[in-house]
Amino acid sequence: MSEPERARAATIFDVARLAGVSHQTVSRVLNDLPNVRPATRERVEKAIAQLRYVPSPAARALVTRRSRTIGLVVTGAHERGPSSTALHFNAAARDARYAVITASMMRTDVAELRAAAELLVRQNVEAIVLIATDRSGVDALEGVELGVPLVTVASEQRGVRHRVTLDQFAGARAAVEYLVELGHREIRHVAGPEGSMDASERARAWFQVLSDRGLVAREPMQGDWTPESGFERGRALAEQRDFTAVFVANDQMAIGVMRAFAVAGLDVPGDVSVIGFDDLPESEFLSPPLATVRQDFHGLGGDAMALVLSALGDEATPDPPLRPTELVVRGSVAPPAPHLP
């Protein structure tokens, strides 16, 4: 591509990056509005000249137009947590008379995530909500000047300004403490994938409870959230048989674990207790029904929209408290059999 062609392709976002300012500041300079420092205005004008940028009417309007549109970026969109949160966020946005433009990703790709956020800003969204499953998703937008408020749904703080989340640690702690109270002393853990913030919080709670009770925390077995990975980890556990309970990081893997135990001739909960996390709709109807931890995705989606409205209003309100989870006791757990350790 020739130099003139590259210049003609320049956008307001290219100018903003080169000048080190937000796209709204560029728009203020284009409209010759006040409240722009002379040095900043000079940098913007130099960037415009260097890129040979020709502003469009849409670019001039960016600083003043209200679109009543929110951008939503969802990573891990095939997973229950992110998809359910996105669904309820959309409902809360509609209740507030906002439209939502969604960019969904099966997995976290840093370059694609940044490109999606920039594309949403080009669509004149008033704020962006990021539902992040992995740390890399949150870190991808760190230091990126979006020019609009960013609200993150993530289990870890990681320096973000506006965040909502469920209390993953407390939910997992309640599950493992319940197993200990039933009398279990050898409690294994099938964890979620590396890099997942939810998986890390749940594993951290499992380890903390066992440590506090003076129990041995054997190396977790790592899965990928799928029933297939749960089945494979369950087969490996069934060969060891040095435990009486398993805390599984999500219900889908727990379904696989229970199937593997059945194939190996282990009775749940007679030989081994199993407890999951998520409370899938089908978990109640398994045989035996799966004990689990219920998450309030409806409330979480509402929390995210409430924080968006707060950020748009420039209100100096703190992030809402971590939304609680609920332990759901069902037939897959019981006290350990007397003949087992």
From residue 76, how far is each of 133, 235, 257 by CA, in Å?
A: 6, 26, 22
pLDDT of residue 61: 53
Which regions of the chain carry the CATH code 3.40.50.2300? 67-166+297-322, 168-294
Which amino acid does the sequence have at 29? Answer: V
- Whether the per-residue pLDDT at 246 is higher than 90: the answer is yes
pLDDT of residue 341: 46
Predicted confidence band of residue 166 (pLDDT cuts 50, 70, 90) = very high
Which amino acid does the sequence have at 257? Answer: V
Is the CATH number of domain 67-166+297-322 1.20.1440.120? no
pLDDT of residue 56: 62
292-329 per-position pLDDT tens digit: 999 999 999 999 999 999 888 755 567 788 999 999 99
Superfamily of domain 168-294: Response regulator (3.40.50.2300)
Which regions of the chain carry the CATH code 1.10.260.40? 12-55
- For the chain, the average pLDDT equals 88
pLDDT of residue 55: 74
Which amino acid does the sequence have at 259? Answer: R
Residue in 233, 155, 156 with CA at minimum distance from that of residue 188? 233
User: What whole-number percentage of the chain has pLDDT above 70?
Assistant: 91
Give the distance, in angstroms, between the CA of residue 91 and the centroid of all CA atoms in the same chain.
18
Cα 341 from Cα 337, distance rounded (Å): 8
92-122 per-position pLDDT tens digit: 999 999 999 999 887 777 888 888 988 898 8
Q: Which residue has the higher pLDDT, 1 or 238?
A: 238
- Whether the per-residue pLDDT at 160 is higher than 80: the answer is no
The side-by-side arrangement of strands in the sheet containing 221-222 is 221-222, 187-191, 245-248, 273-275
Q: Which residue has the higher pLDDT, 67 or 254?
A: 254
Predicted confidence band of residue 58 (pLDDT cuts 50, 70, 90) = low
- If you average pLDDT over residues 219-238, what whole number do you get? 97
Greatest CA span in the chain, whole angstroms? 82
pLDDT of residue 268: 97
| Residues 6+ positions from 276 with CB-CB distance below 8 Å | 248, 249, 250, 251, 253, 254, 255, 283, 290, 291, 292, 293
Q: What architecture is the 12-55 domain classified under in CATH?
A: Orthogonal Bundle (1.10)
